[in-house]
Amino acid sequence: SAVRRYNFNVVMKSTTRLCSSKPIVTVNGRFPGQTLYAREDDTVLVRVVNQVNYNVSIHWHGIRQLRTGWADGPAYITQCPIQPGQSYLYNFTVTGQRGTLLWHAHILWLRATVHGGIVILPKLGVPYPFPAPHKEVVVVLGEWWKSDTEAVINEATKSGLAPNVSDAHTINGHPGPISNCASQGGFTLPFQAGKTYMLRLINAALNEELFFKIAGHKLTVVEVDATYVKPFKTDTVLIAPGQTTNVLVSADQSSGKYLVAASPFMDAPIAVDNRTATATVSYAGTLSSAQTTPTNPPPQNATAVANKFTNSLRSLNSQKFPAAVPKKIDHNLFFTVGLGINPCTSCKAGNGSRVVAGINNVTFVMPTTALLQAHFFNLNGIFTTDFPANPPHVFNYTGTPPTNLATTRGTKVYRLGYNSTVQLVMQDTAIISPENHPIHLHGFNFFAVGRGIGNYNPKSDPKKFNLVDPVERNTIGVPSGGWVAIRFRADNPGVWFMHCHLEIHTTWGLKMAFLVDNGKGPNQSLLPPPGDLPKC
């Protein structure tokens, strides 16, 4: 194993998209940011130097951070933010993982422009469990606002209303040849006929699940969230913010140009959305004047396409990569996830109310000291350990919403013993409107053992759980008007954030944290914090 060193200078950079320019927060002046490369078992050292006027922190999304929660990155959860002029050295080892992940800012809405890929290659000499591709390409999907994103969210927080949606989606930073600024072109993916390519797809968008398609080409899915899956062919990939998907593409056309499209998926559309990002696959030897073969992205509410993709995912569960699904469960949890409405005296535009979100009716309040520090140093009064294992009252979650839509507020965590096992059913509620929630758990991969539409039935549904080869991942969509069941083993001591990866829902409070105790054995405790850990 090796040590990989990176310098991440957080700097402002004037950037032009959609034919207009604005200063954005970047790492090393790039949008999207550079890809971080490592091999399984390597140690990664990233020095983040904050040279902007915002507080900053960076999260290595999907890296397990075994015993190194101090390097996880969510501001006020595992660390205080890096203040302007300050720096922090993220120090972690990539243990037992290989595949595609992403890094992103984990404070305010800075991840709109502060994000990039993470590629963890297998250990030297270890092949992929599929034929090696001719080339690998990182493809980062994102969103672009013409206005300042911090201003967008600040305005929404003041008014209590929903924020403006972005002006475009992007593929490797560009809205593409079919956009409001066609002159800027877009990302081009060069193909050589007869070769196979692996695309490492990353959804770094703030608020949109996306469909991804390439005209005239099938995609073979081989990995999601840095875990191998049983390969399957599809026209369309569904990818939620925070998720990653590796696909193999055979360049089985002889020549020509083919449109690549990333378009939004939302099966409870509140507004019509046509922000399709485009890019171009171009075969070697194709004339630049050649017509591009078009593709039809699925409509925004194509639930059947989304379900078909999701239901095709199975963990590889091979001898080398067995699916270690917990069978005996210590903590049986049922969380409702959804939106609500709280009174707000200052919210004039919102008529005295504001949109909130919660888990089991708790709207999470961000602390002013990092929870992990409070936990490690036994500071009192920062959080409570009474996060409810069940909703406060049972109702028909997918039917008529209850009359009281208010949530309670608090910085509550749910406590787990070291190595205990968890089954967590997350039920979407129809309060306000049903919506998909891509839920991300820090510090763990989990197995997605069940999924259904309607109300979860604790008697009959568990009988249908897949405990053999359920897909393993770190971010999962709770379907609109439905539920998912996940299982994981709490083998990572520390404080681990769990939240909706639609940034607006996180802002509204759809988040909580698990506190995992130290074990008694050797190597079962959270390591002490590094000396340069930022102070609040």
Would you say 314 or 501 has its CB closer to ligand C2O?
501
My answer on whether omega of the bond before 434 falls inside 30° of 0, hence cis, is: no
Residue of 47, 49, 52 whose CA lies nearest to 71: 47
CA distance 7 to 28: 8
Give the residue closest to ligand C2O by C-beta. 61
DSSP classification of residue 114: S
Segment contacting ligand C2O (CB under 6 A): 163-171, 372-380, 453-461, 495-503? 495-503
If binding is defined by CB under 6 A, does position 81 make contact with ligand C2O? no
Q: Which of 499, 507, 533, 534 binds ligand C2O (CB under 6 A)?
A: 499
Which of the residues 113 through 142 are near ligand C2O (CB under 6 A)? none
If binding is defined by CB under 6 A, does position 103 make contact with ligand C2O? no
If binding is defined by CB under 6 A, does position 494 make contact with ligand C2O? no
Q: How many residues of this chain bind ligand C2O (CB under 6 A)?
A: 11
Which of the residues 158 through 177 are near ligand C2O (CB under 6 A)? none
Residue of 378, 210, 336, 225 whose CA lies nearest to 278: 210
Exposure string of 93-105, with b = 16+ CB inside 10 Å and e = fewer, is bbbebbbbbbbbb
Least Å from the CB of residue 118 to ligand C2O: 11
Would you say 257 or 499 has its CB closer to ligand C2O?
499
Segment contacting ligand C2O (CB under 6 A): 357-365, 404-412, 493-501, 515-523? 493-501
If binding is defined by CB under 6 A, does position 64 make contact with ligand C2O? no
Least Å from the CB of residue 246 to ligand C2O: 18
Amino acid at site 222 = V
Would you say 440 or 489 has its CB closer to ligand C2O?
440
Q: Which of 33, 74, 186, 494 binds ligand C2O (CB under 6 A)?
A: 74
User: Helix or strand or coil: residue 26?
Assistant: strand
Amino acid at site 325 = V
Give the contact letters, 227-266, x = binds to ligand C2O (CB under 6 A), - = no. ---------------x------------------------
Q: Which of 54, 397, 497, 514 binds ligand C2O (CB under 6 A)?
A: 497
If binding is defined by CB under 6 A, does position 442 make contact with ligand C2O? yes
As given in the structure block, the two tokens for residue 76 are 């006020």
Residue of 113, 84, 150 whose CA lies nearest to 26: 113
* Bridge partners, residue 257, by sequence: 282, 292
Would you say 111 or 257 has its CB closer to ligand C2O?
111
CA distance 67 to 446: 17
Q: Which of 440, 487, 489, 505 binds ligand C2O (CB under 6 A)?
A: 440
If binding is defined by CB under 6 A, does position 354 make contact with ligand C2O? no
Residue of 491, 442, 383 whose CA lies nearest to 70: 442
CA distance 52 to 82: 10
> To 10 degrees, the CA torsion angle through 436, 440, 444, 447?
10
Output phi, psi for 382, to 5 deg. -90, -40
Least Å from the CB of residue 468 to ligand C2O: 29
If binding is defined by CB under 6 A, does position 412 make contact with ligand C2O? no
Residue 1: how many CA atoms within 13 Å on its side-chain side? 14
Geometric angle at alpha carbon 174, from 171 and 179, rounded to 5°: 105
If binding is defined by CB under 6 A, does position 443 make contact with ligand C2O? no
* Bridge partners, residue 483, by sequence: 427, 452
Contact residues for ligand C2O (CB under 6 A)?
Answer: 59, 61, 74, 104, 106, 242, 440, 442, 497, 499, 501
